[in-house]
Structure 1
């Protein structure tokens, strides 16, 4: 099928070898909810040194029983594809790979997804937005009052700052205008930006953004922190956020809180629903904190007893095998 066929939907993810298993869960969620009227092409942007052939082979075991036509292509990014750019806690080198998308993929437009999202609605409804002459389509970010003040220092209207975890990229225009190069230059020249390529894209794409309904990028962070930090959002955004809790199409598991680590958090069960369909399930299952350590100690009556790490691990695994029958 032609790359720019109206029946082809390209979806791009960039990830490290460690995040491959989480990216698999994201793709599984797309496949389980997408329309059978389209063919889906997934492009994985990966570090050529870290994602070895055996890791790719495991990833390609992704399947769906729905008869959806799809294929997965790995695109290796070499060291010389990007200059040395800052790597911080929430921004890995792989995050910058999305700036290269128009140079690597020939489709006129593509969907970009972070590896920590779950898609629970037909993704063709997202793809079929008309970008017009906009460079990107994305959701306005919903952030704290402190972050709002930070965005103002970038000379960006906080109401127009978008989250780059879910985007439709106008590949043709990005390539014509060399947007990726402009973003890289912005990162090199400015030392005042904290959210790296997301900030750079907001600066460079300013005034040429199609803003999507917020349901296409529901940030779960606030559902966890809202009770503890009552003033996290202003009253208007708090009300909007509460409405989205019951009506989102994509959930974005932002921040250090992740469903594969904390399966007892709100909406973590949605992520695990799709994780269970992948070949990575057992690996993910045993890598997660199935119940909190504090709760487990109370449960077995050793809350005030000192137990060595090895003994604790044996007790924990024995209990989990009984509880979850695995």
Structure 2
């Protein structure tokens, strides 16, 4: 049986992300061979992972990528999250013997078996790729590339990519992605978006009013969820969707992968929502400690100060700074109750959205808004609100 062949690339500083992508591949796909292009990942890591992958009849190959001028090539100023190892995909023909190879960035996770993807016919085509951000721009995203490695070798694609980069690297708006699009032109197979679902575009989509993107179905999950842009799910805070999916694979134990234990994202039974422009939330510590069955989501439209950020130490607190307006409305629709417990300014439009969604609004008497509240409790008796929420 031919193994599915993957290539990942990154340095040791990115090892958590590399291993998360690796785990997601191995959970859903047995009989794989995965090349890791790197310069500094310790041998001990490879020895350990190699033993674990053997249970799935899979193997990992350590490719130390030295030589060449990758470190000297300029990166775009808007891409601080991009590392020089992004150019590593150029060198696949030099180190990979197999004819068909799936290159994956390491800011993504695989959520299903990819046999159908590997069965795509690449005859006389150098690669298959998905358009950038669901076809909004007429070029492909280079984070997922099904590569016809035999074609690349025959046509000297590697050297062509290197030559252009040597000549133009100071002027490439999207680093290697610009070069790959220039060399391939329209000569590639178009992939369905499920194989490169660019969820990391959420924040820009919201700011540009491209709300149709939020209506694209996420059930079942896309086959490959790609967290492009700097809004990564492993950041302390992020505003994009499907953060929990990345963490699910990140926290997987290899024993779960090898036993094929069912993956479940655990959630609290109930969801409470607070939208605030102030760091002062009346009786928040009491509510947190006495409502373990509730996830309490705190949203702000700007960055959060230290008082709010310190609440992240509680497992049932979920912080959402610089939240998108679209996401705000979605979370209102999904919550069970709205807690209007912030001091200072209230958001009339937010409270109107909460009313439209027919959600119960609770407040304490010293912070109640002048617009609408369903139930008011004495600020010196927070247990009364706790009792109400437990009954609710």
Q: Normalising TM by the smaller chain, what interval? A: 0.7 to 0.9
The counterpart of 2:251, out of the listed 266, 273, 276, is 276
Offset of 1:32 from its aligned partner?
Answer: 1.7
Q: 1:296 to 1:63 in 2, by over 3 A?
A: farther
The counterpart of 2:13, out of the listed 13, 18, 22, is 18
Gaps of 5+ in 2: 255-276, 287-304, 319-392
Alignment partner, residue 216 of structure 2: 243
Offset of 1:82 from its aligned partner?
Answer: 4.7
Q: Render the CA deviation track for 1:235-261: whole Å, top value 9, x for unaligned.
A: xxx546633444521110000011111
Q: Render the CA deviation track for 1:11-32: whole Å, top value 9, x for unaligned.
A: 1100111111111111111122
In our comparison, the structure showing a higher alpha carbon Rg is 2
Q: Distance in 2 between matches of 1:90 and 1:106?
A: 30
Count of residues paired in the alignment: 273
Q: Distance in 2 between matches of 1:73 and 1:16?
A: 15
Offset of 1:322 from its aligned partner?
Answer: 8.8
Alignment partner, residue 163 of structure 1: 141
User: Normalization by structure 1: what TM-score?
Assistant: 0.72
Offset of 1:223 from its aligned partner?
Answer: 3.0
**1:145-294 correspondence to structure 2 within 5 Å:** 148=137, 158=138, 161-190=139-168, 191-230=170-209, 233=210, 239=212, 242-246=215-219, 248-261=222-235, 262=237, 265-278=240-253
1:104 and 2:95 are equivalent in the alignment: yes
Alignment partner, residue 40 of structure 1: 32
Q: Distance in 2 between matches of 1:194 and 1:225?
A: 17
1:86 and 2:74 are equivalent in the alignment: yes
Offset of 1:179 from its aligned partner?
Answer: 0.8
1:113 and 2:87 are equivalent in the alignment: no
1:53 and 2:53 are equivalent in the alignment: no
Offset of 1:125 from its aligned partner?
Answer: 1.6
Q: 1:295 to 1:265 in 2, by over 3 A?
A: farther
Q: Distance in 2 between matches of 1:295 and 1:273?
A: 32
Alignment partner, residue 126 of structure 1: 117
SS at match of 1:226: helix
Q: 1:320 to 1:74 in 2, by over 3 A?
A: farther
